[in-house]
């Protein structure tokens, strides 16, 4: 039963020290050097909530909405709030949509500090002030994963995907200070304009499906220190609120591809964790028959450790995590589907666009 011990140890160490903004002090500094860039494709509903939450009436920072060929009222919503709207034009060959939008937004930005913000984020009271102040103290690159507000039962199935994502980044274990993470989150990214353009920005990673990992990796390679955090206390989001189908498509788009960007040591540890957890779930009926007390105590330990980490990532309930064997089966099924999409079919679909993985890989080889 060595897998039981391995699973417990890894569950208790891979994602255990997650910094949040809950205790970050509010310091109202001059933020005129800040440019917020929001890539948006058919985001009229989400954009309304985001721009309202930014409290633009008294803002001294620049806000740019990059309307990525939307077919809804994205542009109208942005203009109603008085922010700058950029039209990047048709998507050129060799580019993926979000990278194209972010690159054009960055080129139009006037600030010396760039904050890339997804349109489905909501900024909590004083959230931008907290994020900006923390960045000023840390420097380098600040990568923030918004706190996931779970409102419908099916959204609970994102729990293990979040856990594996945080574990794969390698920024939340007890030995994190030994080495800066080389990848980060994509929903919120804060860096200096100088560092961004020096790294080549989104133009340098225009073919990458998981653009956030690729961009942070490039900036890390040029010597920038990477800080990763949970957005709890500053930034929140609803993730895939349009039903189970949107959740499946969303995680399928990047999960198997993201594994290829993960450092070998963390990929190994996460794989070991998944293997040991699967073995535990399969062995649980036998363990119950032979050692009921051990089965109960180990199960409670797993749920408690998962909940201790995931409560800082999203509003996942203790009860939902009691069903983690079901979460595990869903995770494995979707990971296999993501692998089929990216490695076998060589194509994923997102935001009404089909992304050909094979075509982009061929272009890389030719180049």
Q: Tell me which of 212, 242, 272 is where a domain ends.
A: 242
Residue 256 included in any domain: no
Strands 62-67 and 34-40: parallel
Residue 131 included in any domain: yes
Report the candidate in 278, 313, 281, 276 with the shortest Cα–Cα distance to residue 295.
281
Is pLDDT of 256 > 70? no
Residue 252 included in any domain: no
- Going by pLDDT thresholds of 50, 70 and 90, the confidence category of residue 255 is low
Residue 367 included in any domain: no
Distance (Å, rounded) from C-alpha 365 to C-alpha 367? 5
- In terms of residue numbers, what domain contains 331? 2-15+262-360
Distance (Å, rounded) from C-alpha 61 to C-alpha 250? 31
Q: How many domains does the chain have?
A: 2
Residues 161 and 275 placed together within one structural domain of the fold: no
Residues 191 and 310 placed together within one structural domain of the fold: no
Strands 84-86 and 347-350: unpaired
Q: Using CA of residue 128, residue 133, residue 139, residue 145, what is the dihedral sign?
A: negative
Distance (Å, rounded) from C-alpha 226 to C-alpha 60? 26
Q: Tell me which of 173, 208, 242 is where a domain ends.
A: 242
Residue 150 maps to which CATH number? 3.90.550.10
pLDDT tens-digit series, residues 118-139 = 999 999 999 999 999 999 998 9
In sequence order, which residues have a C-beta less than 8 Å from that of residue 269 and are 6 or more positions away?
10, 14, 167
The predicted model scores a pTM of 0.88
Residues 319 and 271 placed together within one structural domain of the fold: yes
- Going by pLDDT thresholds of 50, 70 and 90, the confidence category of residue 88 is very high
- Going by pLDDT thresholds of 50, 70 and 90, the confidence category of residue 14 is very high
pLDDT tens-digit series, residues 150-182 = 999 999 999 999 999 999 998 999 887 777 777
Is pLDDT of 328 > 50? yes
CB distance 195 to 224 below 8 Å: yes
Burial bucket for residue 344 (CB in 10 Å: 0-12, 13-18, 19+): exposed
Residues 330 and 207 placed together within one structural domain of the fold: no
């Amino acid at each position: 039963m060595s897998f039981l011990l391995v699973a417990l140890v890894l569950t208790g160490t891979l994602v255990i020290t997650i910094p949040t903004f809950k205790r970050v002090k509010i310091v109202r500094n001059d933020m005129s050097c800040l440019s917020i860039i929001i890539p948006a494709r058919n985001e009229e509903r989400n954009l309304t909530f985001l721009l309202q939450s930014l409290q633009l009436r008294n803002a001294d920072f620049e806000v740019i909405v990059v309307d990525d060929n939307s077919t809804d009222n994205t542009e109208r919503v942005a203009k109603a709030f008085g922010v700058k709207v950029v039209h990047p034009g048709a998507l050129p060959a060799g580019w993926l949509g979000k990278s194209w939008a972010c690159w054009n937004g960055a080129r139009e930005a006037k600030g010396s500090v760039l904050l890339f913000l997804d349109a489905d984020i909501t900024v909590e009271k004083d959230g931008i002030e907290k994020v900006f102040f923390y960045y000023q103290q840390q420097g380098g690159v600040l990568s923030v994963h918004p706190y996931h507000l779970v409102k419908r039962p099916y959204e609970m199935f994102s729990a293990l995907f979040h856990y594996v994502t945080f574990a794969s980044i390698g920024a939340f274990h007890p030995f994190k200070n030994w080495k800066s993470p080389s990848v980060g989150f994509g929903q919120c990214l804060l860096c200096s304009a100088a560092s961004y353009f020096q790294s080549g920005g989104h133009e340098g990673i225009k073919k990458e499906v998981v653009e956030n990992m690729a961009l942070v990796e490039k900036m890390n390679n040029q010597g920038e220190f990477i800080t990763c955090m949970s957005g709890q206390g500053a930034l929140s989001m609803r993730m895939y609120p349009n039903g189970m189908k949107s959740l499946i498509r969303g995680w399928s788009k990047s999960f198997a591809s993201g594994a290829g960007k993960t450092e070998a040591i963390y990929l190994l540890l996460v794989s070991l964790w998944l293997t040991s957890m699967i073995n535990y779930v399969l062995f649980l009926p036998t363990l119950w028959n032979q050692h009921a007390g051990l089965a109960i105590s180990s199960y409670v330990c797993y749920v408690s450790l998962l909940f201790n980490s995931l409560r800082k990532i999203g509003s996942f309930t203790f009860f939902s995590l009691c069903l983690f064997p079901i979460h595990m089966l869903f995770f494995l099924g979707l990971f296999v589907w993501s692998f089929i999409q990216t490695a076998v079919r060589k194509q994923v679909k997102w935001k009404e666009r089909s992304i050909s993985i094979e075509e982009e890989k061929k272009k890389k080889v030719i180049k």
